[in-house]
């Protein structure tokens, strides 16, 4: 084993949304723990500049990213062909970097688990997905590559249960580690008294899955019922989903909301917008493995209206200022908007208390410690979750970057 354990960390994209930011924290955790980290991405993007600030070398190796659309027979053949083509490059990259551990971020790049196994490297897979509403066969296809992983980290109990339902034997290798979520530099309570419109904020992808269309409809319904409310939308689309974005703008126009709904596009730093708004809304219409945006809202001391489903329920559990609403229920979301407006002082003060709880629950240090314990065990080839304290292979080197 080398003086500084080498970790090759792979991720399916280079943007700065939820899973991308968790990956960035994973890289920082390993670097600060003394590892020699190399990152592999399929393409460039805003994530690269953040990684470079950590002084981490970034290599590019185009590899297929698994989407549900690629599981159709014709598309699946194309996926196999792309994977075979990318395998040679991936194996050469592993041979060049000679990692002690291969860290695979998300289930959407299963090729790296296969390559790690072929190269006889221990593989740690970090699961961010949870497709409980998908057909059982699709759930099994997504989970099958985990059979090649030496260890699995899941970002929620919900995701871990789903994996075990697909393949019970994976349960023994799966450890739940809640995302470390960085908060704002300073936390301040929301304004009082409310003057003018109640300012609602949506942060996330523009997609039907994320329910941003539900947020727009709920604002329209609440206004019809006499609640003065506006909506700021922060985020962009996946390439190829331009039609959904166009439809969303048409919907805003049809509902006569152009004066109260503002599209900001993608913003790398969302904290100024969170500080300027009153309430966060996370209206996902489908299962979510967790809910970083929900946690960010709580960390910013803003009341939260969130879909009562899957990992979002887990992310929002125990917070006084969070209202859980049936996903897709426009009337219920409108009622939640009206309630937080009517009982503003209660929700505003509860959100301040909740911010302190969230800062402890989602501490970056707690997250880093948990992730590094998993990496340590693989580097040292120590059986995990035995109850014994694992002496950190990274810690013993003394290489800690600040």
Asked if the model's pLDDT at residue 399 lies above 50, the reply is no
Residue with the bigger pLDDT between 74 and 155: it is 155
Closest CA to 84 of 102, 57, 63: 63
For the cut 50, the answer to whether the pLDDT of residue 385 exceeds it is no
Alpha carbons 18 and 5: distance in angstroms, whole number: 27
Question: What confidence tens digit (pLDDT) does each residue in 186-214 have?
Answer: 899 999 999 999 999 999 999 999 999 99
Q: What is the pLDDT of residues 146-163, one digit of tens each?
A: 999 999 999 999 999 999
Q: Which residues lie closer than 8 Å to 130 by C-beta, 6 or more apart?
A: 156, 158, 159, 162, 287, 288, 289, 310, 311
- Domain boundary assignment for the chain: 6-180+363-397, 198-361
Residue 303: per-residue pLDDT: 98
Between residues 184 and 85, which one has the greater pLDDT? Answer: 184
The answer to whether residue 340 scores a pLDDT higher than 80 is yes
Measure the N-to-C terminal CA separation of the chain; round to a whole number of Å. Answer: 24
Q: Which fold has domain 198-361?
A: Rossmann fold (3.40.50)
Q: How confident is the model at residue 7 (pLDDT cuts 50, 70, 90)?
A: very high
Annotation: CATH topology of 6-180+363-397: Rossmann fold (3.40.50)
The chain-wide mean pLDDT, for the chain, equals 89
Instruction: Look at residue 5 and tell me whether its pLDDT is greater than 90.
Output: yes
- Report residue 103 as tokens: 């860290």
Between CA 5 and CA 374 the distance in angstroms is 13
The rounded distance, in Å, linking the Cα atoms of 130 and 161 is: 9
Q: Is 198-361 in the same CATH topology as 6-180+363-397?
A: yes
Residue 73, pLDDT > 60, answer: no
Segment 345-371, tens digit of pLDDT: 999 999 999 999 999 999 999 999 999
Selected residue with higher pLDDT from 344 and 383? 344
Least confident of 66-75, 173-182, 294-303: 66-75
pLDDT higher than threshold 50 for residue 124: yes
pLDDT at 393: 45
283 compared with 70, residue with greater pLDDT: 283
State the Rg of the chain over Cα.
22
pLDDT for 382? 55
Average pLDDT on 6-11 reads 97
Judged against a pLDDT cut of 50, whether residue 254 lies above it is answered with: yes
Per-residue pLDDT for 283 more than 90?
Answer: yes
Q: What is the pLDDT of residues 17-28, one digit of tens each?
A: 888 999 999 999
How far is 282 from 294, CA to CA, in rounded Å?
A: 6
The confidence score (pLDDT) of residue 79 equals: 65
């Amino acid at each position: 084993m080398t003086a500084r354990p080498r970790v090759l960390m792979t991720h399916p994209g280079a943007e700065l949304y939820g899973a991308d930011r968790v990956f960035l924290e994973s890289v920082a955790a390993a670097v600060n723990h003394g590892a020699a980290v190399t990152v592999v991405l399929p393409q460039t993007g805003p994530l690269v500049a953040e990684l470079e600030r950590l002084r981490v070398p970034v290599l590019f190796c185009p590899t297929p990213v698994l989407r549900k659309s690629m599981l159709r027979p014709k598309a699946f053949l194309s996926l196999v062909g792309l994977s075979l083509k990318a395998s040679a490059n991936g194996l050469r990259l592993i041979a060049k970097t000679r990692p002690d551990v291969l860290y695979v971020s998300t289930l959407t790049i299963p090729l790296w688990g296969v390559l790690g196994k072929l190269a006889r490297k221990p593989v740690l897979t970090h699961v961010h997905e949870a497709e409980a509403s998908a057909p059982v066969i699709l759930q099994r296809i997504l989970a099958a590559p985990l059979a090649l992983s030496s260890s699995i980290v899941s970002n929620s109990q919900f995701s871990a249960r789903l994996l075990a339902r697909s393949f019970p034997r994976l349960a023994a290798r799966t450890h739940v580690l809640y995302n470390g979520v960085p908060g704002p530099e300073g936390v301040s309570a929301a304004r009082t008294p409310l003057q003018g419109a109640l300012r609602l904020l949506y942060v996330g992808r523009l997609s039907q899955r994320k329910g941003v269309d539900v947020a727009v409809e709920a604002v329209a319904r609440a206004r019809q019922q006499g609640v003065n409310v506006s909506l700021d939308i922060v985020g962009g689309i996946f390439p190829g989903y331009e039609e959904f974005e166009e439809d969303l703008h048409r919907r805003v126009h049809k509902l006569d909301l152009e004066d109260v709904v503002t599209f900001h596009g993608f913003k790398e730093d969302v904290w100024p917008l969170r500080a300027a708004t009153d309430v966060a809304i996370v209206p996902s219409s489908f299962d979510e493995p967790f809910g970083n945006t929900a946690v960010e809202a709580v960390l910013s001391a803003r009341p939260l209206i969130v879909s009562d489903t899957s990992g979002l329920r887990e992310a929002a559990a125990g917070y006084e200022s969070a209202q859980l609403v049936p996903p897709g229920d426009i009337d219920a979301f409108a009622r939640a908007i009206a309630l937080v407006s009517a009982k503003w002082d209660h929700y505003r003060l509860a959100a301040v208390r909740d911010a302190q709880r969230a800062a402890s629950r989602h501490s970056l240090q707690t997250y880093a410690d948990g992730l590094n314990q998993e990496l340590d065990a693989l580097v040292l080839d120590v059986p995990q979750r035995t109850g014994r304290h694992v002496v950190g292979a990274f810690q013993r080197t003394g290489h800690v970057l600040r």
